[in-house]
Copies of this chain bind each other. A is one copy, B any other.
Amino acid sequence: MVEPELDALSRYSHLAVAVDIVVFTLIEGQLHVLLVTRGIEPFVGKLALPGGFVLAGEGLDAAAIRELQEETGLVPGIAHVEQLRAYGAPGRDPRGHVLSVAYLALAPELPHPTAGSDAREARWVPVADALGLALAFDHGQILRDGLERARAKLEYTSLATAFCADEFTVSDLRAVYEAVWGYPLDPRNFHRKLTGTPGLLVDTGRTRRNGQGRPASLFRAGTIAVLNPPLTRDEGFARP
């Protein structure tokens, strides 16, 4: 195709660009996703992923982080944020052609679970429930893609630590895996694998009492971000 003149760029600006964010966190051992109730058309009253339009001159990552902060009050640096992919089917927004760049964010359990800075109500919904709801736009698909990305990256990265506080126990980590993958793991083999990967966990030397049972050693994330060989999950066992 022929490219535009220098000043004719706006001839090709027929798409609005938005970001939508799949924010996961763990609440009482259960995986939750942040959803907002839409206050305006289209899809008034329906649940949707938090998001909004990219502002002029704003980068995509910046827009995602800004929206995340507006919806949750999350300070950048606490959560892990990465781009998922772009969704641009022509009919996905009834108002017109809107391209959405979806992001995946993982956060530790937050002190204030809900804090909407604008009119929309935001709340944490168990992922198992959210998957059964009819979300606005193609947000159901985006949620499924985000969940699959999170599940896959737990296999071969240290991403699970993004769900944990600065210091955590091996059981904390295992709870993350069990919540995201949806089935229980053997505590002994999990412990062997995670502590046996050099550079993954750094032992603080201290322990933490969890109500009952023997106190667990406290770790913080090490420098290694890649698990090689990976921690394979049992395909076909994930709870929908």
Contact = CB atoms under 8 A, between A and B. Distances in A.
A2 B55 CA distance: 12
Interface residues of A, number: 44
Interface in A1-29: 1-4, 6, 9-10, 12-18
Contact of A88 (B6, B13, B59, B90): B59
Copies of the polypeptide in the assembly: 2
Contacts of A41: 6
B59 A1 contact: no
Interface in A218-240: 228-229, 232, 235
Interface in A132-189: none
A192 to B, nearest CB: 18
B88 A85 contact: no
Contact of A229 (B67, B98, B232): B232
A96 interface: yes
A89 interface: yes
Contacts of A15: 13, 15, 17, 54
Given A13-B15, A17-B99, A99-B99, 7 more contacts: A4-B53, A9-B98, A14-B56, A15-B15, A15-B17, A59-B90, A60-B88
Interface of A: 1-4, 6, 9-10, 12-18, 40-41, 52-60, 67, 70, 83, 85-86, 88-90, 95-99, 101, 118, 228-229, 232, 235
